[in-house]
Amino acid sequence: MKEKPLEERRKALEEDFFRRESEAKLAKLRAKKEREALAAATGVADGELVERLHALGVRAESLEALVHAPLVSVAWADGKLDPEERSAVREAADAAGLRAGTAPRALLERWLDEPPGGLFDAWERFLTEAWRGPRDAARRRAVEELLRGRLRDVAVASGGFDGLGRISRAEADALVRVMRAFLESREPASGDR
């Protein structure tokens, strides 16, 4: 009689093992499909960049959130995100049509809840990899125009009085880095000259 509970326990452990193995394989397959869809949606052939974007939560259906990465980076530049900065990023997202309840907005909110390490570096690489050609100049300019005024709004949101605040050194450095990335992305690739 003692063998029956042991046999049942062995069976339960075996089933649990195979269930976990199946779930892990499905998760790997799902992630691979997500990366393939992201690569197709962005036109980025660099597997490492696609992997970095995927690790940051970017999927083909949430790609629009990536446009707002510089705002998030400026907001987190000093290591903390104040309610005013959060509000300024949300206002910029609303103005750009990033609606609540959508995948891009959910991703943006996730980045506002936790500092997304490496987000700016991935965005900067994306900018130079995906939007470097002459065909992408109009899209790049549109994003730059969308962000230009909003970046300063986010930077001054938590400092000073009524928008007349000071920008922290870290935020100023982040602003310069964003504008430099836009300028450098305008330069033709070495093979395009």
Q: Which domain holds residue 183?
A: 5-192
Question: For residues 22 and 19, what is the distance between their CA atoms, to the nearest angstrom?
Answer: 5
Number of domains in the chain: 1
| Residues near 183 by beta carbon (within 8 Å), at least 6 away in sequence | none
pLDDT at 161: 45
| Residues near 31 by beta carbon (within 8 Å), at least 6 away in sequence | 54
Of 92-101, 126-135, 158-167, the one with minimum mean pLDDT is 158-167
Contact criterion met (CB below 8 Å) for 78 and 122: no
Ramachandran assignment for 44, one of left (phi > 0), alpha (psi -120 to 50 degrees), beta (any other): beta
Of 24-33, 133-142, 178-187, the one with minimum mean pLDDT is 133-142
The 3-state secondary structure of the chain, one letter per residue: CCHHHHHHHHHHHHHHHHHHHHHHHHHHHHHHHHHHHHHHHHCCCCHHHHHHHHHCCCCHHHHHHHHHHHHHHHHCCCCCCCHHHHHHHHHHHHHCCCCCCCHHHHHHHHHHHCCCCCHHHHHHHHHHHHCCCHHHHHHHHHHHHHHHHHHHHHHHCCCCCCCCCCCCHHHHHHHHHHHHHHHHHHCCCHHHC
C-alpha count within 13 angstroms, C-beta hemisphere, residue 117: 0
Cα dihedral sign, 108-111-116-121: positive
Q: Could you report the per-residue pLDDT of 117-162, keeping only the tens digit for each?
A: 999 999 999 888 876 666 677 777 778 887 887 888 888 887 644 4
User: Which has more pLDDT, 188 or 83?
Assistant: 83
User: Which has more pLDDT, 76 or 22?
Assistant: 76
Q: How much of the chain, in percent, has pLDDT values that exceed 70?
A: 88
| pLDDT at 191 > cutoff 50 | no
Q: How much of the chain, in percent, has pLDDT values that exceed 90?
A: 41
| pLDDT at 20 > cutoff 50 | yes
Question: For residues 52 and 119, what is the distance between their CA atoms, to the nearest angstrom?
Answer: 9
> Which residue shows structure tokens 């001054």?
156
